[in-house]
Amino acid sequence: MQGLVVDLMGSEVPSDRQIAKRVVAQIRSQFSINDEQKFSRIMHGVVSGRYEASADEMADIDAYEAHVLTAKALGAQALVDRDALAAAIAYEQAQTRLAQPENPEYLADADERATAQVVVDNVTAETVTLCEQREAYRQTNGGSVGAMQTDEEEEAGDAPPAGIPETRTGIGSESGGGSAG
């Protein structure tokens, strides 16, 4: 099952709404809302003792439940990947800010530098590793792969961007586990 990719090499951090919409789309890729309602009616009848489901109906419900659980797990991993991407971008921005010369004429300079320093001081090893992978990817490929779509683009029905890099692990990758590492 693919489709909940968070591009760890990109620069766009998806919103909760975008990820949730992709979870639903993943479910709808195999089961319609009508299927879901039919399964709900069947299970309501079974639980209430008013209906006995056939073996085929129960197999369909089992397949639906397995698909939903997989989509939910992919959604949860997308949230983890999203948070890793946000931390990596914050760290990269902090490093960039600290690399700039001090400017006493710019009133917010000291505050911005202090904020950036806090980010750098509190970075995790996983975030540093992801940033190193992102930099290696940029050096090798001349920049980032496509950005995640905006809510408006998704509502318009445009397809998600293609081209997830080989260094990417997590949702949508062949290995299927965790954030880049």
DSSP assignments along 13-43, one per residue? PPPHHHHHHHHHHHHHTT--HHHHHHHHHHH
Predicted structure pTM score = 0.71
Residue range 48-88, pLDDT digits in tens: 999 999 999 999 999 999 999 999 999 999 999 999 999 99
The total number of structural domains that make up the chain: 1
Residue 32: what are its φ and ψ, rounded to 5°?
-80, 170
Determine, yes or no, domain membership for 89: yes
pLDDT higher than 80, residue 142: no
Within-domain flag for 7: no
Please indicate, yes or no, if residue 6 is contained in any of the structural domains: no
Domain that holds residue 39: 16-155
Residue 179 lies in a domain: no
Question: How far is Cα 40 from Cα 44, in angstroms, rounded to an integer?
Answer: 6
Q: Is residue 85 part of a domain?
A: yes
Whether 4 is covered by a domain: the verdict is no
* pLDDT above 60 for 98: yes
In a domain, 166, yes or no: no
What pLDDT does 21 receive?
94
- What pLDDT, on a 0 to 100 scale, did the predictor assign at position 49? 96
Three-class SS state of 139: helix
